[in-house]
Structure 1
Amino acid sequence: MTLLTALASASGVPDSGLAGFVADTMNSLGLLGVGLILAVETILPFLPSEVALPLAGFTASVPGNFSVVGAIVAATVGSVAGALILYWLSREFGLDRTRSVLSRIPLVTARDIDKGVAWFARNDAVAVFLGRMVPAIRSLISIPAGVERMAVSRFLIYTTAGSLLWNTIWIVAGYQLGSNWAKVEKYAHWLKYAFIVAVIVAVVWFVVYKVRSRRTPA
């Protein structure tokens, strides 16, 4: 029995655990609850978005609740708000203190951090857009954006675009499945890997394109 199956009741509504808390919040607060859950998930991923978003879609499918479009908009606003909080905290914290804290993590060196920040500085738009669609990286991508003081307008544009695409896919999946929303777990594993592979391919293509364009005589 999987986690989602165990949490889902016969009606499809989870009544216990974190998923139950998310369902109660969305039912009680409506679209505000959807936004709050996604904002918190972006900062502290206590519940994977692959669970929260399909559940929002399922909630939207129940007559009398909010619309699926409303759920997508609220989730995206919440995601962007959470990302902005991390962005501003990292911006205020600065590179030196961020490097000092992260380099204490096993297998993470200051050199690795500097390389990551340097790569981000050259490819910030691609990193933010694609990073919003990679599990775990979804939250972390806001940190180098803040440290490197990426323009807020650019950060908002690419964060919103990436979040909107990611949220739409999972919410629509939950909406279409209705009370069987938990079945999305069957495909979530492979879909996440597909996203990761697609992101890697896109990054490699972007880097190759940049290198070739620099070598091409004007």
Structure 2
Amino acid sequence: GFAVWPQIEHEADDGLASAAAVAAGDPRVEQVVICTPDKDLAQCVTADGRIVQYDRRQRVLYDHAGVVDKFGVPPASIPDYLGLVGDSADGFPGLPGWGAKSASALLARYGHITSIPFDAAEWDVQVRGAAKLAAALQDGFEDALLFRRIATVELGAPVSATVDEMEWRGPQPGLEERCTELGAERLAARAHSLAPG
């Protein structure tokens, strides 16, 4: 009963982001909630509150201000932030020496990796170990751009064209049997308890 989008050239995050954009474009949708703790999807959160992110592990809802509070940068800078600090969930390390505080301080000022000067003397933001960070940025600049690209969601993933196609209409026939095969009987019961009507 769930919409499924097979992806060959895109990642699941791209599908979630693309579906969120489709839903946000429908005037009948009051708000889109992306339910994931994945840091990279914070870039989808909008300033107008149409798209928010819910971290079910922490039980925290992040709007635009929440993303800024958590990461120190706005949603548009999340790929750059992850390009510098890394993202273990997506398997890339970031640059040596770059942590959350230094990345957020510099990105809050410069916005994107490509706007941060290679010479720390040109920085008008005070960060600990500035010379080493600048050297790591210059030496690992191409890596940082690659990591940023990996962390950037693509909105062109093939997903449902309308919200109506995405609407969950409850469990489909055969769910109980499939859940039994998988040893997930509680899942079928939960799906039925959440079914509309």
Scaled by the length of structure 1, what TM-score is found? 0.26
The structure in which a higher percent of residues are strand is 2
Structure number with greater Rg is 2
